[in-house]
Structure 1
Amino acid sequence: MPTPRPLALALLLALAAGLAAPDGHAAKKPAAKKAKAPAASAACADFYANANADWLKANPMPDSGAISSLGQLTARAQQQQRDLLDAAMNAPQGNVQKLLGDFWASGLDEAAVERDGANPVAPLLKRIDGIRKTGDVAPAIAALHQVGIPALFNFSADVDLRELDRHLGYFAQGGLGLPDPAYYTRGDADTQALLARYADYIRRILTLTGIPAKDLERETALVLDLEKRIAAAERPLVELRDPKANFAPVATAGLGKQYRNLQLDAFLKVQGVSDDTVSIANPALFARLDALVGGLKPAQWKTYLRWRVGDAMAPYLAKPWRDASFDFRGKVLRGETQPAPRWQQTLEAINLAAGPMLGREYAARYLPDATRRQAVDIADHVRDALVRNIGNSTWMSDAVKAEARSKLGKLRIEVGTPRRDLDYSVQPMGRGSFGGNMLIASTWRHREEMKRIGRGNADRRWDVLPQQPALAYDLAQNRLIVTAAMLQAPVLDAAMPQAAQYGAYGALVGHELSHAVDARGRMVDAGGDLRDWWTSTEAAAWDANAQKAAALYDGFAYPQLKGAKVNGRITRDENIADIAGLELARAALVAAGPAGGADADKAFYRGWAQVWAQQVTVDEAQRRSLQDVRAPGQWRSNGPVMQQGAFGSAFACKAGTPMQPPAQQRVGIFR
């Protein structure tokens, strides 16, 4: 199935006390007649709790995990996808909906899936059975990649770090059934127990592919032997986290001679790639793989490739296949207790193999033109606010200000769906074979992914799907991405007051746009070149402010955890972006005028706070406190609000109350 991009999204996307004292005459009233504290007092003590009181009451603490307003948005988007697919199944409007409706119907029809058995993979297994000699192995591997089943290694499109408007094909390590190469080499008891469970899983899948019982032990041993050989040549996962370490461009000319047994020149041709350069960050691995293809018997490769097909396709075939996959991958590797409902499994499969198709129809159905225009307008206003604030900055030099303004002037705002549509010509699916449809869709998506490779194609599509809520700054392409699914309450809804739209959606936009010119954005200049365009003066000023922000959040009590504090160091960058986002949205709202007074300001801040409503159990809070790079919802809400004097004016908060620290203690980013 479609493989992860080797650079991931780490580098390139940006895919976080007591009540005020009552007044004197109220304090003298008899206790039985004591008046409630004014609303302003509650807002000035803990604005998050005040703004989200109704939500918190209506959404009690779950038994485990967490619930949140953004999580509810995601669940709503998922239900919308179901509704769309139901409609496409019953009354499709156009060719794409016909494809999606048939795909959906075939997945929901469990009886048909059972009748279909292993038929979807029969042609692939037949192709593998045709391997007779060493020269047959590489073409079989290339054919599996073409249908979205990576074997032996991974190959995908990702950005060229020398030319950010270009994508290269990346040859990367893969081909293993376990997620970490270290599993194959460690000798501790837990790892050995895992390997034993893995061997059982291999036996079950090989049996289902037609391997006779008498040959199972030998064939399973052949798979494990080959995977151990591959794993021994692969790098530890920790070494794959550095994007630059995974980037090593080489000319495609000569690859066929250098890797004769892998036939990488022919491989590229089969994938539809004709570029002059690819990336091979670990040539020693591919030399080893080339030697394995040439040195091992074709029979061992046949068994390994049968296993790769069976493992990849098991979730989409009849129940014995699904059970085998879930018993190992679900229960053992992911810790799940039972499979997801059938509809959810089918929806996940469609998003995996045909996600861009579904996204196109989702946006057409659920994103009104008026909402799209409003989202673009607000984003434009927030960008303009950032440009103005940079111009007034006291910590940027004139040259750095000019570079920042130039970069923001070139920034693109893409809302709803990618600007460039895909080619939806694809083999008709029909409703008779869910597994067959999965292969058809995976082949289509792989084809479209391969079209990203080459100059001028890096913006071909997003790394998120329109039907999945997301708002991110794409550093490589200098663009803001807002998916169709994100434009719903509590982020942006037509029923929300305009000020609340700025407080919620506008502040999230500001959060992301700040990344264009912050300590991360400084690494890509206005021309799209990788270079640091700050001087040591800007770097020192940023670091000093960042330390102030980290110290601020270090002082916040972690909700649900007695005696624990927020880790201001690991949450620092997201906290800074939150503070920047709210200040930019506030500036944009004021500039958009006319001024709405205290009522508009209250709506603005409530819009922000209501984005972060959540209920998190103690166990989940403990886990997040140790590793989450985002602060808990209470402080994502309150932390940035505390930095704004306008909040105190709107809610009549006196200086020194919890939500209005003295001005000299506040943190500002671009103001």
Structure 2
Amino acid sequence: MSNLRPLACALALSLIAGLASPAADAAKKKAPAKSKAPAAANACTDFYASANADWLRANPLSGAGSVSSLETLAANARRQQLELLNTAMTAPQGNVQKLLGDFWASGLDEAAVERDGSQPIAPLLGRINAIKKAKEIPASIAALHQVGIPVLFNFGADIDLQDLERHIGYFSQGGLGLPDPAYYTRSDADTRQLLGHYNNYVQKILTLTGTPKEKLAAEAQLVIDLETRIARASKPLPDLRDPRANYAPVQVATLAKTYKGLQLGDFLKAQGVSDDSVSLANPQLFAELDKLIGTLKPDQWKVYLRWRIGDSMAPYLAKPFRDAEFDFRGKVLRGQREQPARQQAVLDAITLAAGPMVGHEYAARYLPAATDARAEQIAGQVREALGKAIDADTRFSDSAKAEAHAKLGKLKIEVGTPKRDLDYSVQPMGRGSFGSNMLIASTWRHREEMKRIGRGNADRRWDVLPQEPSLAYDIAQNRLIVTAAMLQAPVLDLSKPEAAQYGAYGSLVGAELTHGFDSRGRYVNAKQEVRDWWTPAEVSAWDALGSRVAAQYSAESYPGLSATKVNGNQVREVAIADQAGVELSWAAYRAAQPAASKDANQAFFKGWAGLWAQQLSPEIAAQRSASGIHAPGVWRTNLPLSNLSAFGETFGCKAGTAMTRKADQQIKVFP
């Protein structure tokens, strides 16, 4: 719509000039002339509006903050998951579906959940209540981590920054019921009020896990006192944003000697971890925790551990637990007004505890073999186009091109599900207890997570689930990940012309592959070593490109906001990738279809435009304008195409029009 504003202004100025002229009085005696409506958008004036006209008419906001074609894809993936789980509940095919179907049925049976009360966590509480001595506490902590309830600290698998081909275990701060350690020590009025709400919540959970009324206030204070001690030894949240600052390898053999109270060596054995090193970046915190094991009375630890069990499991237990958790975490912390519908809550829970199980079955049900094969074929062709573009790129030296080709040669394309499957052997879940099933499933997922630790396991799984729409370049593993849920309209629709498949899916592939060879990808070489393989001249050339792209976007108005321009510097990296993606996919398409007709070529660009159709409320537009790294849909569509001569040739647009820049004004990532 913004492309129509200059025309509207011109009409307004003409009208003002007419009223001020001597002929104005004479015009009063004549029949009023009908003002011309602004010209409808066409391919050469606003391709986004022209190509998406039907979608935009059919998808008004209707009270929602935003609606977009990709949001519709995500909603469809959620609907498919519900359909899958309902089918697994009534007619399961295979062991994994039987597990999921029983899990789903137990979650939907609210009457059974209410009858269950706190029984699912009774065995865990029984173990905690049986603690007599401080030396028994570390084993209980390890046991809770095993069932997916991290207490006192966090422990998980992640990339070894010195060796990207392996994962190591990371000991990191955690164990708090509030999201920010600063909340425990700040003294402003808002924080004191929050702590008051928190204290009330702790008391509710302690009541439900066995604390008598007369001890509630004292025991809640024991919890908050222990968490405050943890918080004081924890790092501020901003310090956790840089992965390098939280990477500190230590030999496992030294842990048992250094932290005798915590018994971290035994902790690792309990998690099934036998690697020789782990990361522990805040030794001061763990020294404090080690000291607390021996100095605090066992009764304080027992109260804290009971609280952490009840808090972690509250969303999956009977209504008193769920209401208490939602009143604090939902209403106070997240600002929510209502709890999610039961189906959505159970789906979220199953995704958390057994998401990879759902993903395995989702791909088998919703990803046809033909779509999988087509996705791999197009991605391979775009990869070939990238290789040719690197050869032709004059900005890069021979050494940089050699490194890029070596990296490209090792690049892996994984479509649908991870190449390495998981071990789905799990004890039967049954339909009797949703809370117990959450513990069974989360124990399984924790076990599989721990298997990522060690050499040769870094590619064991993705950091996204197959049932979640995602297409992304994994920089650490030098691989393109395309989830099963992503391979449907509007991304890859086999009912559309082949050209449209390249325009949508192929362009997204090109955009993501570019990240392996751009200002981010330059820091990881072909051997998966963290090393900058660009020269200062190449960095300068890329920065100059980025500045031109940023300037191009900054010249455009943000749709739906008055007097607000797109922040070009903020969206620059994604904008560069978008431009590269269209260029590479067009090259791949033309190589595959050199004799394609004009109509086929037009379908390519319509495929690209269809990805970015969206409607935004002024509030959402303002939020995204302020902090979003993606340009609004109209400019993600139009600006890359306006830089592509092939677009103007396909639609017969004259150079210098809105959608076809003059040759000296066009920006190309791969000239």
Q: If the length of structure 1 is used for normalisation, what is the TM-score?
A: 0.95
**Could you say which residue in structure 1 is the equivalent of 2:282?**
282
For residues 444-477 of structure 1, give each alpha carbon's deviation from its aligned partner in whole angstroms, at most 9, with x where no partner exists.
Answer: 0000000000000000000000000000000000
Alignment of 1:474-513 (within 5 A): 474-513=474-513
Question: Are 1:264 and 2:264 an aligned pair?
Answer: yes
**Could you say which residue in structure 2 is the equivalent of 1:364?**
364
Q: 1:635 Cα shift?
A: 1.0
Alignment of 1:207-606 (within 5 A): 207-606=207-606
For residues 539-573 of structure 1, give each alpha carbon's deviation from its aligned partner in whole angstroms, at most 9, with x where no partner exists.
Answer: 01000111111111111100110010010111110
SS of residue matched to 2:157: strand
CA distance in 1, matches of 2:37, 2:403: 57
Q: 1:650 Cα shift?
A: 1.2
For residues 588-641 of structure 1, give each alpha carbon's deviation from its aligned partner in whole angstroms, at most 9, with x where no partner exists.
Answer: 101112331321221111100110111110011111111111111111111211
Which range moves more in the overlay, 44-53 or 444-453? Answer: 44-53
Kept in 1: contact 2:429–2:440 (CA 8 A)? yes
**Could you say which residue in structure 1 is the equivalent of 2:654?**
654
Q: 1:124 Cα shift?
A: 0.3
CA distance in 2, matches of 1:559, 1:460: 42
SS of residue matched to 1:603: helix
Letter of the 1:394 counterpart: T
Kept in 2: contact 1:20–1:45 (CA 8 A)? no
For residues 69-119 of structure 1, give each alpha carbon's deviation from its aligned partner in whole angstroms, at most 9, with x where no partner exists.
Answer: 100100100010111111100011110000000000000000000011100
CA distance in 1, matches of 2:213, 2:222: 15
* Change beyond 3 A, Cα 1:35–1:337: closer
SS of residue matched to 2:169: strand
For residues 35-66 of structure 1, give each alpha carbon's deviation from its aligned partner in whole angstroms, at most 9, with x where no partner exists.
Answer: 996x8x61111111111111110011232411
Question: Are 1:62 and 2:62 an aligned pair?
Answer: yes
CA distance in 2, matches of 1:579, 1:187: 49
Gaps of 5+ in 1: 1-16, 22-30
Alignment of 1:71-110 (within 5 A): 71-110=71-110
Q: 1:33 Cα shift?
A: 13
Q: 1:500 Cα shift?
A: 0.5
SS of residue matched to 2:570: coil
Q: 1:175 Cα shift?
A: 0.4
CA distance in 1, matches of 2:535, 2:464: 34
CA distance in 2, matches of 1:250, 1:523: 25
CA distance in 2, matches of 1:102, 1:423: 19
For residues 368-412 of structure 1, give each alpha carbon's deviation from its aligned partner in whole angstroms, at most 9, with x where no partner exists.
Answer: 000000000000010100100000001001110111011011100
Letter of the 2:616 counterpart: V
Gaps of 5+ in 2: 8-32
CA distance in 2, matches of 1:90, 1:440: 21
Kept in 2: contact 1:62–1:615 (CA 8 A)? no
Q: 1:20 Cα shift?
A: 11
For residues 190-212 of structure 1, give each alpha carbon's deviation from its aligned partner in whole angstroms, at most 9, with x where no partner exists.
Answer: 11111100111101000000100
SS of residue matched to 2:424: coil
CA distance in 2, matches of 1:243, 1:145: 23
Kept in 1: contact 2:4–2:38 (CA 8 A)? no
Question: Are 1:131 and 2:131 an aligned pair?
Answer: yes
**Could you say which residue in structure 2 is the equivalent of 1:149?**
149
CA distance in 2, matches of 1:624, 1:519: 24
Letter of the 2:576 counterpart: I
**Could you say which residue in structure 1 is the equivalent of 2:15?**
none
Aligned residues: 645
Q: 1:670 Cα shift?
A: 1.9
For residues 110-160 of structure 1, give each alpha carbon's deviation from its aligned partner in whole angstroms, at most 9, with x where no partner exists.
Answer: 000001110000000001111111101111100000000000000000000
Q: If the length of structure 2 is used for normalisation, what is the TM-score?
A: 0.95
CA distance in 1, matches of 2:468, 2:117: 32
CA distance in 1, matches of 2:659, 2:232: 56
For residues 245-271 of structure 1, give each alpha carbon's deviation from its aligned partner in whole angstroms, at most 9, with x where no partner exists.
Answer: 011001000211100110000000000
Letter of the 2:387 counterpart: V
Letter of the 1:650 counterpart: T
CA distance in 2, matches of 1:212, 1:427: 35
CA distance in 1, matches of 2:399, 2:368: 41
CA distance in 2, matches of 1:140, 1:36: 72
CA distance in 2, matches of 1:637, 1:177: 44
CA distance in 2, matches of 1:388, 1:47: 29
Which protein has greater RCO, CA pairs closer than 8 Å, 6+ apart?
Answer: 1
SS of residue matched to 2:480: strand
Kept in 1: contact 2:180–2:237 (CA 8 A)? yes
CA distance in 2, matches of 1:562, 1:195: 41
Letter of the 2:640 counterpart: P
**Could you say which residue in structure 1 is the equivalent of 2:17?**
none
Q: CA RMSD of the aligned region, Å?
A: 1.6
Kept in 2: contact 1:19–1:45 (CA 8 A)? no
Letter of the 2:236 counterpart: P
Q: 1:516 Cα shift?
A: 0.6
CA distance in 2, matches of 1:62, 1:383: 41
CA distance in 1, matches of 2:153, 2:642: 50
Kept in 2: contact 1:64–1:620 (CA 8 A)? no
For residues 403-444 of structure 1, give each alpha carbon's deviation from its aligned partner in whole angstroms, at most 9, with x where no partner exists.
Answer: 101101110000000000000111100000000000000000
Q: 1:34 Cα shift?
A: 9.0
Q: 1:657 Cα shift?
A: 1.1
CA distance in 1, matches of 2:186, 2:38: 64
CA distance in 2, matches of 1:344, 1:61: 22
Q: 1:653 Cα shift?
A: 1.1
Letter of the 2:265 counterpart: D
Letter of the 1:632 counterpart: P
* Change beyond 3 A, Cα 1:263–1:60: same
SS of residue matched to 1:292: helix
Letter of the 1:48 counterpart: Y
Q: 1:329 Cα shift?
A: 0.6
For residues 316-359 of structure 1, give each alpha carbon's deviation from its aligned partner in whole angstroms, at most 9, with x where no partner exists.
Answer: 00000000011111111111110111000000111100000010
Letter of the 2:472 counterpart: A
Letter of the 2:336 counterpart: E
Letter of the 2:321 counterpart: W
**Could you say which residue in structure 2 is the equivalent of 1:664?**
664
CA distance in 2, matches of 1:215, 1:281: 37
CA distance in 1, matches of 2:43, 2:510: 24
**Could you say which residue in structure 1 is the equivalent of 2:30?**
none
CA distance in 1, matches of 2:663, 2:532: 32
Kept in 2: contact 1:105–1:431 (CA 8 A)? yes
- Percent pairwise identity: 64
CA distance in 2, matches of 1:35, 1:650: 27
**Could you say which residue in structure 2 is the equivalent of 1:9?**
none
* Change beyond 3 A, Cα 1:593–1:128: same
Which range moves more in the overlay, 355-364 or 288-297? Answer: 288-297
